[in-house]
């Protein structure tokens, strides 16, 4: 399912085959937690260059429910998206909703943040939900330990994650879900991808143990989880230096929840192929816009009479048609259009960055591209 095409140092250029087409790597996934990208139509994400959207199992299970999505023909049809979809398992909510959940050996009990109803999510249930959603890439249920955590806690956490990964793999392998376009079960199985998640906090020996266990179980791809949760960036990079070489070269590598343009470049340099983060869309709603010369805080007074484009080096519709003064006016006036334009630009910026990264690896010039980008971005 994954073909490595070119390398530039440890940076990798490849292609990932999914049921909804081939995806060029490295790539960045725009967040569509509940089956929607806040402020944008799905085709606008596609026009920006996006090929994969990330949706969330926990949130879609709560509302509208996987059965309703299945009746609609699956999440792709429900949200009118023709590209690939990756669904998180709900494992991140084990971390982010720690105040309203109880962790148990056989799963995790949540108290719904919507109506207080108790929900019990097991590894098997997480896979069943994702299969009904019809996602192309499914994630194993895991526990993301907070930072900092005592080593004894993290050690128990990776044991739980490993056990859940085995159960997810078993449920995934025996699924009777059918793709009507295919006849043989082996072909059906190969249309869906299951990723294991390496945990271990900031402890190299636990990361090594977690990676070895998951590789032994065997997955279509491997994610590095539990980073970008509060630890300093240099520590994250050090963990990647120690963890990425432990993962199979013929499988895609996914760094979950990362990140800033600097984070992405540093991680690609270490051999990561896949990224996701809320920053492009969330920051857009708060008026933080990514440009080739760094972040623009569009509400600032200095842009009140600035009639230049947001980023002269960007050819997105926002930069081609609107000025910083207008974007500031919309944001200060709290106009809905502000969210749409800001989001459209940030999503386009990230996809343009990924396109540049891919081209630089093809040209075996990734190091030069990274240095040039960061010099300008931090100027």
> Do residues 121 and 199 share a domain?
yes
Task: Please list the residues that pair with 222 across neighbouring strands.
Answer: 196, 253
Token readout for 257 is 């929840």
Contact 284, 305 (CB under 8 A): no
Q: Residue 274 in contact with residue 262, Cβ under 8 Å?
A: no
Same domain, 292 and 165: no
19 and 113 both lie in a single domain: yes
From 244, 277, 310, give the residue that closes a domain. 277
Residues 217, 99 within the same domain = yes
Q: What are the residue numbers of the active site? A: 88, 276
pLDDT of residue 182: 40
- The pLDDT score that the predictor gives to residue 119 is 87
Residues forming beta bridges with residue 29, ordered by sequence position: 276
In this structure, the answer to whether residues 130 and 25 fall within a common structural domain is: yes
pLDDT of amino acid 229: 94
What DSSP string runs through 246-286? GS-TTS-EEETT---HHHHHHHHHTT--EEE-SHHHHHHHT
Q: What is the pLDDT of residue 95?
A: 63
Query: What pLDDT score does 289 carry?
Result: 98
Residue listed under structure tokens 């996809």: 351
Specify the number of domains making up the chain: 2
Residues 152 and 181 in one domain: yes
Query: 296 and 220: one domain?
Result: no
Q: Which two tokens stand for residue 132?
A: 């009904």
Q: Which domain holds residue 94?
A: 2-277
- The one-digit pLDDT tens for each residue of the chain (379 residues) are 999 999 999 999 999 999 999 999 999 999 999 999 999 999 999 999 999 999 999 999 999 999 999 999 999 999 999 999 999 997 777 666 667 678 888 999 888 888 888 889 999 999 999 999 999 999 999 999 999 999 999 999 999 999 999 999 999 998 855 444 444 444 444 589 999 999 999 999 999 999 999 999 999 999 999 999 999 999 999 999 999 999 999 999 999 999 999 999 999 999 999 999 999 999 999 999 999 999 999 999 999 999 999 999 999 999 999 999 999 999 999 999 999 999 999 999 999 999 999 999 999 999 999 999 999 999 8
What pLDDT shows up at residue 216? Answer: 98
At residue 101, the 3 state secondary structure works out as: strand
Token pair of 325, please? 């003064």
Q: What number of helices (H) and strands (E) belong to the chain?
A: 16, 16
Q: Beta partners for 53?
A: 30, 85
* Cβ proximity of 349 and 314 under 8 Å: yes
Last residue of a domain, one of 277, 312, 333: 277
């Amino acid at each position: 399912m994954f073909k490595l095409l070119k390398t530039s140092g440890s940076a990798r250029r490849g292609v990932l085959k999914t049921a909804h087409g081939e995806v060029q790597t490295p790539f960045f996934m725009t967040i569509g937690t509940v089956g929607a990208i806040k402020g944008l139509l799905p085709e606008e994400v596609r026009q920006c260059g996006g090929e994969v959207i990330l949706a969330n199992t926990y949130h879609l299970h709560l509302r509208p429910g996987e059965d309703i999505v299945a009746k609609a023909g699956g999440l792709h049809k429900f949200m009118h998206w023709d590209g690939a979809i990756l669904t998180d398992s709900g494992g991140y909510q084990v971390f982010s909703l720690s105040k309203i959940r109880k962790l148990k050996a056989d799963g995790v009990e949540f108290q719904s943040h919507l109506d207080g109803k108790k929900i019990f999510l097991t590894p098997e249930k997480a896979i069943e939900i994702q299969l009904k959603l019809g996602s192309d890439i499914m994630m194993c249920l895991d526990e993301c330990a907070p930072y900092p955590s005592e080593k004894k806690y993290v050690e128990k956490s990776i044991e739980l994650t490993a056990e859940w990964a085995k159960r997810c793999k078993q449920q995934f392998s025996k699924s009777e879900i059918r793709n009507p376009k295919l006849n043989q079960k082996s072909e059906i199985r190969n249309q869906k991808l299951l990723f294991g998640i390496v945990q271990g906090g900031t402890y190299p020996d636990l990361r090594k143990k977690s990676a070895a266990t998951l590789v032994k179980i065997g997955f279509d791809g491997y994610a590095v989880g539990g980073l970008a949760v509060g630890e300093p960036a240099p520590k994250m990079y050090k963990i990647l230096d120690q963890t990425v070489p432990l993962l199979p070269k013929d499988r895609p590598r996914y760094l979950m929840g990362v990140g800033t343009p600097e984070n992405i470049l540093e991680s690609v340099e270490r051999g990561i192929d896949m990224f996701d983060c809320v920053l492009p869309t969330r920051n857009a709603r708060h008026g933080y816009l990514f440009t080739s010369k760094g972040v623009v805080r569009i509400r600032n007074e200095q842009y009140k009479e600035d009639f230049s484009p947001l980023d002269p080096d960007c050819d997105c519709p926002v930069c081609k048609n609107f000025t910083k003064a207008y974007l500031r006016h919309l944001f200060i006036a709290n106009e809905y259009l502000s969210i749409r334009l800001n989001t459209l630009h940030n999503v386009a910026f990230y996809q343009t960055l990924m396109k540049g990264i891919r081209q630089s690896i093809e040209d075996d010039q990734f190091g030069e591209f990274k240095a040039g980008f960061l010099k300008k971005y931090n100027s």
